[in-house]
Structure 1
Amino acid sequence: MAEELAALERTGTWELVPLPPRIRPITCKWVYRVKTRSDGSLERLFVLYLLLLLFVSGRSLSLISQLDVKNAFLNGELREDVYMQPPPGYSVPEGMVCHLRRSLYGLKQAPRAWFECFSYVVTVVGFSASDHDPALFIHSSSRGRTLLLLYVDDMIIIGDDSQFIAFVKARLCEQFLMSNLGPLRYFLGIEVSFSSDGFFLSREKYIHDLLARASLTDERTVDTPMELNLQLCPTDGEPLADPTRYRHLVGSLVYLGVTLLDISHAVHILSQFVSTPTHIHYSHLHRALRYLRVTSSHRLFFPRSNSLQLRAYSDATWASDPSARRSLSAYCVFLSGSLIAWKTKKQTAVSRSSAEAELRAMALLTTELS
């Protein structure tokens, strides 16, 4: 708490002022742990992340670094007047409140303010934002190309222009409080290891942490994440008295499904019952966890290749949802022979024929490719 308060004072996050009339200050509280990103929001970024790694593998680039911005949101300038009650444990004169000049974690404006600040800094040093994804910044010169990918306060820098990369790191350290994490090894819960033939992605550490949180009381394992041709309904079994643990575990599986193709269908089924899960649903969730127990050491391999051939496949089931009679769409996308994107998704409308279900699946795939 003392370190956080020191960072807030160092960046001039607020100034103490008397509370203006007819103004209600917002409240604040201390949060002592970082919540796991388990809402699936990484999905779009993951495809771009894989493309960058394939770019590195294909061109044999050795300059790939990972950096982290400390107290990232404190760097964003606020446009609006926001008044906040002093943090618990922070002594201020009576009647004084904090007039925020910079964003704080938890403010709705904070992500926008931080991204505007970061974008301005990297644009000044020579980067330009990608037309396809604003989180990707590109710099090209006669010495080579440099790519910077940002996810909240984590970033990776890839390129073959060592002089420019060193310049960028120095400028970022001047503007922000940075941590240079060295060569890329672990990014957003994904372990990365390079070899002469390509690279591997692993989630072994995350899976072990998840199994520890699940507190399974046995050591059983299974060969598949879900039974064949399983049909689950919302009314199966008695509702759980406390669905919190089910929701937490399914959310973690959603995050794992971003990199684990083999559990994507099981996660798709289990996530449909997070509002009112039952003991039956919870037992099938345990099966998926037991499958992860035996496959936790499995890794995704992406071979080194200079080819940029794109291949994509789609499929669909017809009226497979027993409650709503909606169909399922599924697709997978390969670049240079490497799997870079996949999804299983229930269709938004009822298809009147198997042909219509297939066309909807193709439309979903086309949207992903575009």
Structure 2
Amino acid sequence: MIITGDDSEYIAFVKARLRDQFLMTDLGPLRYFLGIEVSSTSDGFYISQEMYIPDLLACAALGDERTVETPMELNVKLQPTDGDPLPDPTRYHHHLVGSLVYLAVTRPDISYPVHILSQFASAPTTVHYSHLLRVLRYLRGTITRCLFFPRSSSLQLQCYSDATWASDPSDRRSLSAYCVFFGGSLIAWKTKKQTAVSRSSVKAELRVMALLTAEVTWLRWLLADFGVSLTTPTLVFSDSTGAISVARDPV
């Protein structure tokens, strides 16, 4: 059990009551939980999975020490028929892709390639596996990266959305992507294939803006439950002038 809050007296009271009812040990401040490391400083909190990555690299058994600057090459469009089928796909989808999905909890920079590679988990090929190894080489060179949550920050949500258009060569569906900041802290992000084919880039951008709006609405309700009152509208940034014009149209 993890107890959170800033009232030390009440936390001590809750722990005392729990000890009266259950056999439990106080492990002190949170430092490590389910592969996630938490470091507290005077400036804020750092959350990472630095200790998780070496185990993942060991599982992949990379035969070299190379690193790369990006987790995926630019404008790569993978298809199910690329390359030859792997003789044993278990290592791909159970050990590596599954571990990368969990690692993306604290590494939003691999969210996009992990989303792409997980689509081929049922029938991976040698080409898909080579791109998977590139993500691992990227992680090897960026193993110390983490999320930072400052102690002092504005209590305002700020959101960014983007979308590809007909980027999947097999079904021509677009990808939605967004990230949400609470002050200076990144608290939510997602890369997801759209459920329908968008017939224009504006339509694709509008779909991700709608997805993000639903996420923001839920976050505002959640913050209200925590006693954080947001008095100003939440800004949603998009690089599509067409989608912005449509979204502003009251009709």
Match of 1:209 among 33, 42, 55: 55
Query: How far has the Cα of 1:240 moved from its partner?
Result: 0.9
SS at match of 1:182: coil
Match of 1:182 among 3, 28, 32: 28
Match of 2:202 among 337, 351, 355: 355
Q: Between the two proteins, what is the percent identity of the paired residues?
A: 76
- Counterpart position of 2:166: 319
Q: In the aligned structure 2, how far is the partner of 1:300 from the partner of 1:190?
A: 11
- Counterpart position of 2:184: 337
Normalised by the length of structure 2, the TM-score is: 0.82
Shift of the 310–251 alpha-carbon distance from structure 1 to 2, 3 Å rule, reads same
Match of 2:138 among 266, 280, 291: 291
What is the aligned residue count? Answer: 216
1:301-339 Cα shifts (integer Å, max 9, x gaps)? 222224201101111111111000000100000111211
Query: How far has the Cα of 1:357 moved from its partner?
Result: 0.7
- Counterpart position of 2:109: 262
- Counterpart position of 1:239: 85
SS at match of 1:360: helix
Query: How far has the Cα of 1:216 moved from its partner?
Result: 1.1
Match of 2:12 among 166, 170, 178: 166
Q: In the aligned structure 2, how far is the partner of 1:239 from the partner of 1:175?
A: 55
SS at match of 1:158: coil
Q: In the aligned structure 2, how far is the partner of 1:242 from the partner of 1:350?
A: 33
Q: Which has the larger radius of gyration?
A: 1
1:1-370 to 2 correspondences below 5 Å: 155-247=1-93, 248-369=95-216, 370=218
1:249-298 Cα shifts (integer Å, max 9, x gaps)? 00000011111111111101100000000111111111100111111012
By percentage of residues, which structure has more strand?
1
Contact 2:168/2:174 (<8 A) preserved: yes
The unaligned stretches of length 5 or more in structure 1 are: 1-154
Q: In the aligned structure 1, how far is the partner of 2:107 from the partner of 2:96?
A: 15
Shift of the 347–277 alpha-carbon distance from structure 1 to 2, 3 Å rule, reads same
Q: Which amino acid aligns with 1:231?
A: K
Query: How far has the Cα of 1:211 moved from its partner?
Result: 0.8
